Structure 1
């Protein structure tokens, strides 16, 4: 009888292992076996971006080579592309724009596939005059800068990082019915750890240190054969990033973010991507190409956006080169 129960227990353990391999997909899901077969090939590097235009440099490069068996798996409305880049097994996904889509896309990727590390690249705005259009920022941490507590008029709460609308009244500062916004931390939940609230969400420190070697990467300066920037774009290391579902063109708000939060890059997805990666215990790094600077006008938006996407992609590929040279296993 004892051996019978031992056999049953062993079978149950094997079943649990199979469930873990296919993660979130139900047994009756039509893609259950497909995802299982992909995961049995080993671990992958995750590559993610927010919207299709940011994928144009990847497609144009020819670096991504899709697998012959199941090169595309569609889950939760997103296409997960399975293949290799420079010999490294990669699954890349276009998550969709803004924080909620980014978080869902990344969580779906990490919960269903055997991802050992995540590289995220794309375009961003800039709040800091230390960066220019065409530059690529490598932030070490991100904040959800639209996570606020909005106070009632006449409230006496004070905080050094508060946004006081009255301070921006014209012709002179004064009281304003919109009162103040106070920054709020965000909960981080992950297996085996207590729920904690934090404002800054860091990328993986080991990958970030490795990325310091990318500061000398030569970036593209020209949009096309006839339109070029009047300066050479740079890789800017050691900055902070801001994320909110807001397209920021307002110079005064940019000054506020610089003064009170010390941010340089401004986008709508990165903090959500890092948050989802931390929740799943997967190392992550983010590269953001600057396409606009708050309060400044630049040449053709479409052309500049393409340049920003190209330069961020170039830095992301150089980072993969570093992983290959270091023979990294995509673990912390």
Structure 2
């Protein structure tokens, strides 16, 4: 009887160990994030001694880039994926700052394909009230206000963030970290961005790095000239994408610094002919990654 009790106890312990989560990674790491594979390719090549572990269906790659310990991962495309994967990274790694590298749609008419934008703040511009039509106009519910100019029935709103004490904080803009932006400004002038894609398609301008301004994020891919103009006029945005503001909210809620580098792969419907992303997404992704690598190299030694 004692034998079977000991055997049962051993099995219980074995199953408990098998079910226990892996030991937490306590090394301070810079989280480097992209939405999909081509955005992360150049950065992945720069990682020394990479180790991959899967958590909640996401591959996290730890290692070093230069003097800095890093954890790289793909957020997945769109807002929920970005929020979910970023929180998973913060829960399992000791993240000192979050850096997003990827592509975006250009909104500011003064920018061009290949340019890299490092916005100072990000908003979730597709958090909307879809208003009721009233005659020739629109009527909001009594408990809602027009925070920004509307686009037809769409009235953009800030997000409500749960805070301690059952408090809901209303917020639209999420700021990138000032110290990280200062590093980005220092390296921007010394970056020579690519002008030609690998197959030999060259732009008629030299791409540049722009630090400052606004970016907006939402669940929709935008390929509409009228909506692009509205976004520029209303939010004074330089770029739009589908992930950064969600990541920024998670960073804010957790008190972790963040910054995003977004290179223009298309003009969000503002160009002539077909949307340009099919031609320029890999080229733009590499331009963003090139700036990120210079940025990481310029960060203070941990």
TM-score, normalization by structure 2: 0.85
Q: Which residue in 2 is equivalent to 1:295? A: 270
For residues 131-177 of structure 1, what are the alpha-carbon distances to aligned partners after superposition, in whole Å with 9 as ceiling and x for unaligned? 10000000011111100111111144574723242xxxxxxxxxxxx
Q: Which residue in 2 is equivalent to 1:162? A: 149
Q: Structure 1 156/321 Cα, relative in aligned 2: closer, same or farther at 3 Å?
A: same
Contact 2:147 2:156 in 1 (8 A): no
Offset at residue 191 of structure 1 (A)? 6.3
Write the distance in 1 (CA, Å) between the matches of 2:174 and 2:237: 13
Contact 1:214 1:235 in 2 (8 A): no
Q: Which residue in 2 is equivalent to 1:311? A: 287
Q: Which residue in 2 is equivalent to 1:47? A: 32
Contact 2:106 2:266 in 1 (8 A): yes
Aligned with residue 237 of structure 2, among 249, 253, 263 = 263
Write the distance in 2 (CA, Å) between the matches of 1:31 and 1:306: 40
Write the distance in 2 (CA, Å) between the matches of 1:120 and 1:164: 29
Aligned with residue 46 of structure 2, among 63, 72, 79 = 63
- Structure 2 residue runs of 5 or longer lacking an equivalent are 1-15
Q: Which segment drifts farther, 154-163 or 200-209?
A: 154-163
Contact 1:160 1:260 in 2 (8 A): no
Q: Which residue in 2 is equivalent to 1:93? A: 73
Write the distance in 1 (CA, Å) between the matches of 2:196 and 2:111: 17
Provide the secondary structure at the position in 1 that maps to 2:237. coil
Q: Structure 1 266/86 Cα, relative in aligned 2: closer, same or farther at 3 Å?
A: same
Aligned with residue 246 of structure 1, among 220, 229, 232 = 220
Write the distance in 1 (CA, Å) between the matches of 2:182 and 2:36: 28
Provide the secondary structure at the position in 2 that maps to 1:248. coil
Q: Structure 1 153/284 Cα, relative in aligned 2: closer, same or farther at 3 Å?
A: same
- Structure 1 residue runs of 5 or longer lacking an equivalent are 1-26, 166-179
Q: Structure 1 221/43 Cα, relative in aligned 2: closer, same or farther at 3 Å?
A: same
Provide the secondary structure at the position in 2 that maps to 1:114. strand
Write the distance in 2 (CA, Å) between the matches of 1:91 and 1:192: 33
Provide the secondary structure at the position in 2 that maps to 1:279. helix
For residues 67-118 of structure 1, what are the alpha-carbon distances to aligned partners after superposition, in whole Å with 9 as ceiling and x for unaligned? 4xxx111111100111111131111111111000000000000111111111
Contact 1:135 1:290 in 2 (8 A): yes
For residues 166-222 of structure 1, what are the alpha-carbon distances to aligned partners after superposition, in whole Å with 9 as ceiling and x for unaligned? xxxxxxxxxxxxxx2221111234569954111111111221122111321111111
Write the distance in 2 (CA, Å) between the matches of 1:144 and 1:29: 41
Contact 2:43 2:293 in 1 (8 A): no
TM-score, normalization by structure 1: 0.78
Q: Which residue in 1 is equivalent to 2:171? A: 198
Provide the secondary structure at the position in 1 that maps to 2:213. strand
Offset at residue 46 of structure 1 (A)? 0.7
Aligned with residue 135 of structure 1, among 115, 119, 123 = 115
Q: Which residue in 2 is equivalent to 1:21? A: none
Contact 2:33 2:40 in 1 (8 A): no
Q: Answer 1 or 2: which has greater strand percent.
A: 2
Contact 1:190 1:280 in 2 (8 A): no
Q: What root-mean-square deviation, in Å, do the aligned CA atoms of Structure 1 and Structure 2 show?
A: 2.2
Count of residue correspondences: 277
Contact 2:148 2:157 in 1 (8 A): no
Offset at residue 301 of structure 1 (A)? 3.9
